[in-house]
Structure 1
């Protein structure tokens, strides 16, 4: 067969090649949309030239279309959605940024949102609807097919960020008494089964999972072998109310591809697959970092009012804790007036102590989040961080003491700041590990409030130790 004949027989491949070539012209070497491409789309939107917008966007991959929505202005997004309505498939909706998707869904009519939700997997549909206002959410649910509505309402009944919210209700489950041949015939004959899955769950008469068979096992076993002879009985079951962060840790620890989700009675109600977990791991990792800084969601698409509300709370809290450090300085006002060099050196002691505390805090919070740090090894972690703090404190103390002694020509001042630096870095190390451990014990999220307490401790103790030593040493006479 000639190449021309082959292309005639496979027109889809030619179309896909042309699509890829057209799309490559809109992406840079880092696989991001080129600024000139985005500018052309925005110009077409400003000119209300829907045909040109469609022609520009049509070659893009759904994930790149989702990126385009983030790159255009907020006022242009609804116009863009209307211009490319035929391209706004489930793949694009599922890839949209949460804030962008929520704004779009609120702007679209309820019947259109219901139509989109009905085409999505249950977990994606739930993610799309859960952030809508209660009134908008109910309006959309009222427009949906009864079966789809029941599935979404069931998912919404579970806590936020739980396995029940993120699980898919599309899975394959068969009785454990089936043979391998029976399963193969079942998979081929039933067209309503999911199009993508990696294992078949084996259930008992009460629909409780008792094992799982990977597709590779099923394809390689003789047809007459019963499932209960080849299925893996040791499986990881995910309770529906388990927090998504813990689910991600289970997948990471046991190298899972998929896992069964069960209700309180142990019945199989859904499954979670590794592609869902990739998003969760990324989300949770970024969330902890942002919580430590008090930056809220940290999403550039987050509305200004909500970003302001999230950040200002922590700034006010920091303002209150800063007054404690200021009150410590006020106690030594006379000491500072007698030796101005102390005012010059105070920020160094507090600043390095704060950095040391932040380092330890970041390590501790991450260890708690990944279950590396538990009650079983807490004291070992404390001893480790204390050892590191002593080494760091000693090194920095020698350097700062020598530098201050030379610059100010005062050995006593050098010794005072060296001892203060050593003490504050050790205090910072202990605070960086004890504060999050204490919050964890109190059932509070260590990532949220730890930084405020650690910063307050290092600032206050840094000033207190440095100025106190300067006073006791007779440095200022």
Structure 2
């Protein structure tokens, strides 16, 4: 059988989504292998048959799954059938590598078909030189619009907004507006409201589409508009913009510049991406991993991004070990202390992490402020006291029976209470303090909190044992 015939029989086509993805939502191996075989055989027709009609999300997953050298070939073979919106669905590292291997003319042609927010998202991570080469291939007006969006700070609303929107003057009638929407060619694919602006493009109000369609054609927009609609400044952080959407249940929101002129609109689908990105970033930060690390990153990049916090953790580990060193003579005289002391430190670390996680999330969502910070500190301290008391009884009984020493059980129980109270207290104070110092509490809190709970746990347990049993003393 000829190679072309083999590739035509390999793998399912996109007409059956159930065959493209398995029960857990992953692309099935037969489909990916079929596309890879078609690329290897330079069978562009088969590639288009398999992947030409894929949804942008499916196409993005396919790109990530393919080998590095097959990715640009896929784009070239699909030609006009390749949807550049798929590049918004893939890891930054993969996207940048792919764009760098494509001709600027190819990228420019694909970007022109996208809404401005997707185009900016694709271009923003490229080096300035590569970005300029692509922008140079665009018509002047389109290049100017994208350049203006790219000039806004990274992670700002201006980077996320789309510059396509529907705007009309207040003296237009409903009928005139509807006719304009029906006939205009350069309107966004999706929109939910008409923005009413004055001659200087300052926002006067907005008219939701449902109200527009339910009003007689003779009515003026000025008679039905919503005055003082919610707005977001283009320089505002995207996380703050997402909180505005969440707080007021928005579907879309006008974006204004420093002169309060309408420059774009944020849509809820963009905000969902922001929320997912910020949550993912915070989750990684809690583990000491940089927010931009992807599974597609190289070994060297990943190792380099993780080592700083590991080194800091190493320093703090030596601080904890130094506390143990103070009681070296005590431990030599009662080996049971060496067996039991990790329990106190471990339970304190776990309890502190629970408090810290709640605190970091509350800070990220701006739920902690001057009005409730003291109450939350008091609550977490009392929670530590309550949980510490329960655990103290359990561990005291177990340790007393294990080593046949009730006094030792009482000591470790007391140390447990002390450490869990400190865990609750510092589990919320450390994130608050770091936030006040403009440091990211998600990144730094865990290292400092672990150090505190280890040092307090070791010192409380070994110090109490030294005092009670009159052992060794502090060296």
TM-score, scaled relative to structure 1: 0.92
- How many residues matched? 460
More displaced 10-residue stretch of structure 1: 353-362 or 439-448 = 439-448
Residue pair 1:23, 1:60 contacting (<8 A) in 2 also: no
Q: Does 1:177 align with 2:171?
A: yes
Question: Could you say which residue in structure 2 is the equivalent of 1:11?
Answer: none
Any conservation in 1 of the 2:91–2:294 contact (CA below 8 Å)?
no
Matched, 1:98 2:92: yes
Given that 1:38 and 1:71 are in contact with CA atoms closer than 8 Å, whether structure 2 keeps it comes out as: yes
Check conservation: 2:14, 2:51, Cα contact below 8 A: no
Q: List alignment gaps of at least 5 residues for structure 2.
A: 1-11
Match of 1:331 among 296, 321, 326: 326
- Equivalent in the alignment of 1:29: 23
* d(CA) in 2 for partners of 1:59, 1:140: 26
Residue 113 of structure 2 is matched in structure 1 by 119
Partner of 1:473: 468
Deviation, structure 1 residue 280: 0.6
Q: Quote the Cα distance in structure 1 between the aligned partners of 2:43 and 2:105.
A: 26
Residue number in structure 1 paired with 2:402:
407
Q: Does 1:282 align with 2:276?
A: yes
The counterpart of 1:377, out of the listed 372, 375, 378, is 372
Contact 1:208 1:267 in 2 (8 A): yes
The 5 Å alignment of 1:134-153 reads 134-153=128-147
Question: Separation in 1 of the partners of 2:394 and 2:42?
Answer: 65
Task: Report deviation, 1:60.
Answer: 2.9
Corresponding position of 1:194? 188
Partners of 2:167 and 2:42 in 1: CA distance: 51
Q: Go from structure 1 to structure 2 and tell me whether the alpha carbon gap of 1:187 and 1:50 turns closer, same or farther (over 3 Å shift).
A: closer
Q: Distance in 2 between matches of 1:315 and 1:432?
A: 20
Which of 65, 68, 77 in structure 2 is aligned with 1:71?
65
Deviates more, 1:299-308 or 1:320-329: 299-308
Alpha-carbon contact 2:14-2:49 (below 8 Å) kept: no
Partner of residue 227, structure 1: 221
Paired residues of 2:331 and 2:337 also in contact (CA < 8 A):
yes
After superposition, what is the alpha-carbon deviation per residue over 1:96-151, rounded to whole angstroms, capped at 9, x for unaligned? 33222111101112222222222222111111111111221222222222112111
Deviation at 1:155, TM superposition (A): 1.1
Distance 1:47 1:263 in 2: 52
CA deviation after TM superposition for structure 1 residue 272, in Å: 0.3
Structure 1 residue 254 corresponds to structure 2 residue 248: yes
Determine helix, strand or coil for the equivalent of 2:69.
Answer: helix
Q: For residue 423 of structure 1, what is the aligned residue in structure 2? A: 418
CA deviations 1:328-368 (Å, max 9, x no partner) are: 11111111111111111121111111111111111111011
Alignment CA distance shift 1:355-1:402 (3 Å) = same
Residues 177-225 of structure 1: CA deviation (Å, up to 9, x unaligned): 3222222222223222223210011112331112111100000011222
Residue 156 in 1 paired to residue 114 in 2?
A: no
Do the aligned partners of residues 396 and 73 (structure 1) sit closer, same or farther apart at CA in structure 2, a change above 3 Å counting?
Answer: farther
- Counterpart of 2:362 (choices 359, 367, 381) is 367
- CA separation of 1:237 and 1:101: change in aligned 2, threshold 3 A: same
Tell me if 1:349 matches 2:344.
yes
Unaligned runs of at least 5 residues, structure 1: 1-17
Q: Is the CA contact (8 Å cut-off) linking 1:346 and 1:463 kept in structure 2?
A: yes
Moved more, 86-95 or 115-124: 86-95
Q: Residue in 1 aligned with 2:50?
A: 56
**Structure 1 contact 294–310 (Cα < 8 Å) conserved:** no
Q: CA deviation at 1:446?
A: 1.4
Alpha carbons 1:256, 1:274 under 8 Å: kept: yes
CA distance in 2, matches of 1:377, 1:99: 41
Equivalent residues of 1:335, 1:471 under 8 A apart: yes
Q: For 1:94 and 1:265, how far apart are their aligned partners in 2?
A: 31
Matches within 5 A, 1:206-225: 206-225=200-219
Residue in structure 2 matching 1:442, options 437, 453, 473: 437
SS in structure 1 at match of 2:263: strand
Q: Give distance in 1, aligned partners of 2:328 and 2:174.
A: 84
Distance in 1 (alpha carbons) for counterparts of 2:287 and 2:320: 20
> Using the alignment, how far apart are the partners of 2:298 and 2:380 within structure 1?
39
Match of 1:455 in 2: 450
- Report the CA distance between 1:412 and its aligned residue: 1.1
CA gap 1:422/1:226 in 2 versus in 1, 3 angstroms: same
Find the partner of 1:205 among 199, 205, 209: 199
Deviations for 1:399-445, whole angstroms, at most 9, x for unmatched residues?
11111011111111111111111111111111110011111111222
Distance 1:294 1:363 in 2: 17
